[in-house]
Amino acid sequence: MSDIAAVGEKRVFEPFDKEAFKKEILNNIKYLFRKTPETASQQEIFQAVAYASKDMIIDEWLNAHKEYEKQDAKTVYYLSMEFLMGRALGNNLINLCCYKEVAEVLQEMGLDINVVEDQEPDAALGNGGLGRLAACFIESLSTLNYPAYGCTIRYKYGMFKQQIVNGEQVEIPDDWLKNGNPFEIKRPEYSQEIKFGGYVRIEYNEKLGRNIYIQDGYQSVMAVPYDLPVVGYNNGIVNSLRIWDAEPLVQFNLDSFDKGDYQKAVEQENLAKSIVEVLYPNDNHYSGKELRLKQQYFFVSASLQQVIKKFKATHDDIHQLPDKVVFQLNDTHPTVTVPELMRILIDEENLEWDDAWDITSRCCAYTNHTIMAEALEKWPVDLFMRLLPRVYQIVEEINRRFLIQVEEKYPNQYDKIRNMAILYEGQVRMANMAIIAGFSVNGVARLHTQILEERELHDFYEMMPEKFNNKTNGITQRRFLLHANPLLAQWVTDKLGTDEWITNLPLLKGLAPLADDSKARKEFQEIKYQNKLRLAKYIKEHNGIDINPDSIFDVQVKRLHEYKRQLMNIMHIMYLYNQLKDNPDMKFYPTTFIFGAKAAAGYKTAKQTIKLINSVADVINNDSAVNDKMKVVFIENYCVSNAEIIFAASNVSEQISTASKEASGTGNMKFMLNGAITLGTMDGANVEIVEEVGSENAFIFGMSSDEVMGYEANGGYNPREIYEQDADIHRVMDQMVDGTYSNGDTETFRELFNSLINQDVYFILKDFRSYAEAREKINEAYRDSKSWNRMAILNTACSGKFSSDRTIEEYVRDIWHLKKVFVR
Ligand code: F58
């Protein structure tokens, strides 16, 4: 059991009763499935264990909420289209502080906890960084004793599963709910009606002495919430992730329908089904689909209506809402919160505009996650108006009043209006609305916030500097160290003589002196080796490829996007392969290049890049001349659960985005925590990683963000010059279109070639040489295992800043102003 011993043995509350838990599992197997442990399937055993652990959660869940009510505690509602939760069982057991004990119970029953955990489908209700950040935040909120809800959609299909067929990505629907979800609880009593379309009727109201606005002729669906527990670490706090499902309002009733009702019932059924059907699989790219706006309004309106009802049940003055409630908008996707809250306050609570505006703007705060123009949400006015007629009127009024202010402050400066108006050239610009209405605007890493203030949002910053602030992202060490890397977690606990790092990550600093201790370095290296064996086994099982655990594991796992430059990575591997073929005796430390990435289904260049990686892998992995030196592996279906295995096993963390493009990155932090060395550009949170660990313990290359933005301001650069002048690059480029990696076909990778030679928007050729040098240095550095392991230990030791606990405390201090709630 040594690999799970790191899990705390000290439950603060109820001591864990092994016998009772075992009995509960057996009962579940019997009563849920009419089976015995011998006849139950692995999936049924997982469910039985999950239900047993849910029983342990329920009391804490109830108690925490009772205490919130008693204290009338202020609550943050983290509104996000995405929560990329991954698996729940292992982390729930860890945070309940009974992982080790449950593992023992299972072992006594002849079961392996890892196998049981592997039966759980990932809750993949998100694309990438933004969704995973929400998941880390909600876990930290519970661990830090803050009252919080995560609000999102109960997508029937989450992020697709990826298969690689003939080197190409194939998307398989992710039917994650097909066996039910043991952890969720349906709460039909909190259902809310959501209205779409129709028109606005205006009526004079005598009592109010003003016009009132009534939406008529609309279609509606019922939003029905399910709650998932978010367990805090050993503190008795359980918050909820509220996921909204859609159901038709009029239930089919085959006996008693008349024709009209039948028609309506069918329409409602279809509307309900379509809204929650599937997560849009785009990462850092906006697609203006009507259904997407429906999804946004659906979960926002449901969440807001419920919050207001809950508030009113115990308060009579709605003006006090900002003292009790804060909405954090995770990017612009839930920004319809602003006009929807105004609508509720004006149309349903009968407030005047100024009052409603004051409340709304004190309740809403906005986080920006990107500066890339293509990711900015803009809705065509006609679509918006048709789908949300009353909400649109409110947007118009917000815009009208704001422009008066701009005009007052900057008379006749039309460029200010052009940049800051919400409604412009027939579009509703959601970021502008979020900034104008909210009381806080934050970026997600220092460099990113700086770029927002100085460039992208400069006019807003100048007009309302007090709203702007930075919150550098973070990750939860409970999942990405304690659960993902039990060997290292145990080592850390042993070395520090305490497991307090589990809730206080900066304590890892205490490991720094061990970087100079040869015994500690050996142990650290051995742990990494064991984790590499675990990953090698996974790769063998899933890809059928044998990899050498003694080689350098050089890893780039993240969504596939041009700005993340997986293409530069694979081109460099092509270059190395050429070198090794030309010069077989070249000094080169064996390396396994590992990729994992999903491409948005409609993103052609990204899909071609996946094909190129797999094609290069095919050629190299089947060339016995180089196989003892290099291998290339594309791990299928990169997701939260296999990420946990990958980070733990990595030596080199590829963070190679074009400077200024990656707002923060969070994978970079997970690698660092697990002792991988960053090979990266000065982009996003890499800047702060280097600041923490020291530039001598990372490998930095490439243009700075200022240089990149300098070129961009001048219309880019000329990549053809590099192609003509650099023979190695020339050769690699030609190999993309001479059939070397495509069985003689010259067109397979033509578009990639063209994108590089014509524009190279992401400066791949420009940064190539500097990247190659950095990689050479890495290859050299790894030979010196003493200095390598020294660096690796220092990376873990210096990663304390990147806990999402730190990030959440900053949000609380500067934005949310919550109070910790303690139970018992
Ligand atoms: C990511 N954004 C950033 N957006 O790219 C990354 O640098 C950052 O670390 C992370 O947010 C957390 O702050 C991101 O993942 C999306 O996936 C959106 C999904 C919906 C469409 C628009 C992009």
Active site residue 559: yes
pLDDT of residue 375: 80
Say yes or no: 435 and 515 in one domain: no
Is the shortest distance between the CB of 80 and ligand 1 below 6 Å?
A: no
Q: Are 326 and 311 in contact (CB under 8 A)?
A: no
Distance 655 CA to ligand 1 centre (A): 15
Q: Is any ligand 1 atom within 6 A of the Cβ of residue 84?
A: no
Structural domain span for residue 200 = 72-87+122-473+809-816
The mean pLDDT values, 10 residues at a time, for the chain of 824 residues are 40 84 98 97 98 96 98 98 98 98 97 98 98 98 98 98 98 98 98 98 96 96 98 98 95 56 85 96 77 98 98 98 98 98 98 98 98 88 97 98 98 98 98 98 98 97 98 98 98 98 98 98 98 98 95 98 98 98 98 98 96 98 97 98 98 99 98 99 98 98 98 97 98 98 97 97 98 98 98 99 99 98 91
Residue 750 in any domain: the answer is: no
Which atom of ligand 1 lies closest to the CA of 280? 20
Same domain, 421 and 491: no
From 278, 283, 670, give the residue whose CB has the most ligand 1 atoms within 8 Å, as the site to mutate.
Answer: 283
666, 681, 796, 807: the active-site residue:
666
- Evaluate whether 527 touches 487 at the Cβ level (below 8 Å): yes
CA distance 187 to 190: 6
- The number of the ligand 1 atom at minimal distance from the alpha carbon of 284 is 23
**Domain presence at residue 17:** no
Q: Which of 558, 611, 661, 775 is catalytic?
A: 558
Distance of CA 369 from the midpoint of ligand 1 (Å): 6
Give me ligand 1 centre to Cα 806, in Å.
20
CA neighbor of 382 nearest in space, from 429, 431, 427: 427
Is 665 a pocket residue for ligand 1 (Cβ < 6 Å)?
yes
Count of the separate structural domains present in the chain: 2
What separation in angstroms does the CA of 643 have from each of 54, 126, 242, 807?
A: 25, 15, 25, 22
Q: How much is the pLDDT for 14?
A: 76
666 included as an active-site residue: yes
Ligand 1: does its nearest atom lie under 6 Å from the Cβ of 664? yes
CATH number of the domain residue 528 falls in: 3.40.50.2000
* Residue with CA nearest ligand 1 atom 17: 283
Which candidate, 758, 778, 756, 761, places its Cα nearest to that of 658?
761
Cα 102 to its chain centre, rounded Å, is 29
- Whether 133 is in the pocket of ligand 1, judged by its Cβ within 6 Å, is yes
Is 558 among the residues known to form the active site?
Answer: yes
CA contacts within 13 A on the Cβ side of 31: 8
- Token readout for 315 is 């308060």
Task: Check 378, 483, 559, 801 and give the catalytic one.
Answer: 559
pLDDT of residue 483: 98
Q: Which candidate in 54, 467, 483, 564 is catalytic?
A: 564
Backbone angles phi, psi at 50, to 5 degrees: -65, -45
Do residues 435 and 491 share a domain? no
Instruction: Select from 78, 81, 138, 370 the residue to mutate for testing ligand 1; criterion: most ligand atoms less than 8 Å from CB.
Output: 370
Check: CB of residue 124 under 8 Å from CB of residue 176: yes
Q: What is the CA(581)–ligand 1 centre distance, in A?
A: 39
**Residue 716: which residues within 8 A CB-CB, separation 6 or more?**
759, 760, 761
- Which of 79, 505, 87, 159 has its CA nearest to residue 334? 79
Residue 450 lies in a domain: yes
Tokens read off for 511: 């490991």
pLDDT at 1: 32
Ligand 1 near 663 CB (within 6 A)? yes
Are 137 and 207 contained in the same domain?
Answer: yes
- How many Cα atoms sit within 13 Å of 625 on the Cβ side? 13
Does residue 129 have its Cβ closer than 6 Å to ligand 1?
Answer: yes
Which ligand 1 atom minimizes the distance to the CA of 133? 12
Residue having the nearest C-alpha atom to atom 19 of ligand 1: 283
> 344 and 489: one domain?
no
Q: Which of 87, 132, 333, 369 is catalytic?
A: 369
Rounded CA gap, 37 and 29, in Å? 7
Q: Are 437 and 501 members of one domain?
A: no
Asked if residue 326 has its Cβ within 6 Å of ligand 1, the reply is no
| CA-nearest residue, atom 11 of ligand 1 | 130
Residue 54, domain member (yes or no): no
For the Cβ of 240 lying below 6 angstroms from any atom of ligand 1, the answer is no
Q: Domain for residue 653, yes or no?
A: yes
- Residue 130, C-beta contacts closer than 8 angstroms, at least 6 positions apart: 80, 82, 330, 331, 369
Would 821 be classed as within a structural domain? no
Contacts of 80 (CB under 8 A, 6+ apart): 130, 131, 134, 150, 151, 152, 330, 331, 333, 334
Distance CA 264, CA 252 (A): 10
SS3 317: coil
Q: Does the CB atom of residue 561 touch ligand 1 within 6 A?
A: no
Q: What is the Cα 425 distance to its own chain's centre? A: 32
Tell me which residue has its CA closest to atom 12 in ligand 1. 130
- Residue 550 neighbours by CB under 8 Å, 6+ apart: 590
Strand pairing of 552-557 and 652-655?
parallel
Report how far residue 226's alpha carbon sits from residue 421's, in angstroms, rounded to the nearest whole number.
Answer: 38
For residues 490 and 464, state if they share a domain.
no
Query: Could you tell me how many residues make up the chain?
Result: 824
Distance in Å, CA 621 to ligand 1 centroid: 33
- Asked if the structure places residue 147 within a domain, the reply is yes
Same domain, residue pair 327 and 443: yes
Atom of ligand 1 nearest to the CA of 285: 22
SS3 (DSSP) at 366: strand
Ligand 1 pocket test: pick from 369, 376, 558 the residue with the most ligand atoms within 8 Å of its Cβ: 369
DSSP character at residue 651:
S
Answer whether residue 106 is part of any domain: no
Beta-carbon count within 10 A of 212 CB: 14
Amino acid at 62: L
Q: How far is the CA of 63 from the centre of ligand 1 (A)?
A: 35
Based on the residue annotation, tell me whether 35 is a catalytic residue of this protein: no
| Confidence at residue 11, expressed as pLDDT on a 0 to 100 scale | 63
Distance 22 CA to ligand 1 centre (A): 42
**Cβ of residue 295 lying under 6 Å from some atom of ligand 1:** no
β-pairing, 148-153 vs 364-367, is unpaired
Beta-bridged to residue 243, according to DSSP, are: 152, 226
In 718-817, which ranges are E strands?
none
Same domain, 423 and 505: no
CB of 377 within 6 A of ligand 1: the answer is no
* Ligand 1 atom at minimum distance from 81 CA: 20
Regarding whether 653 and 517 lie in a shared domain, the answer is yes
Q: Give the amino acid at 130.
A: L
Would you say the CB of residue 339 lies under 6 angstroms from ligand 1? Answer: no
Q: At 632, is the secondary structure helix, strand, or coil?
A: strand
Measured from the CB, is residue 130 less than 6 Å from ligand 1? yes
| CA–centroid distance, residue 445 to ligand 1 (Å) | 13
In the residue annotation, 23 being an active-site residue is answered as no
Instruction: Work out the angle at residue 292's Cα, subtended by the Cα atoms of residues 288 and 294, and round it to the nearest 5 degrees.
Output: 125
Give yes or no: residues 625 and 645 share one domain. Answer: yes
In terms of domains, do 305 and 349 share one?
A: yes
Q: In the structure, how many helices (H) and strands (E) does the chain have?
A: 32, 25
- Give the chain's end-to-end CA distance (angstroms, integer): 32
Q: Could you tell me if the CB of 29 is within 6 A of ligand 1?
A: no
| Selected catalytic residue, list 467, 611, 629, 670 | 670
Is 360 annotated in the active site? no
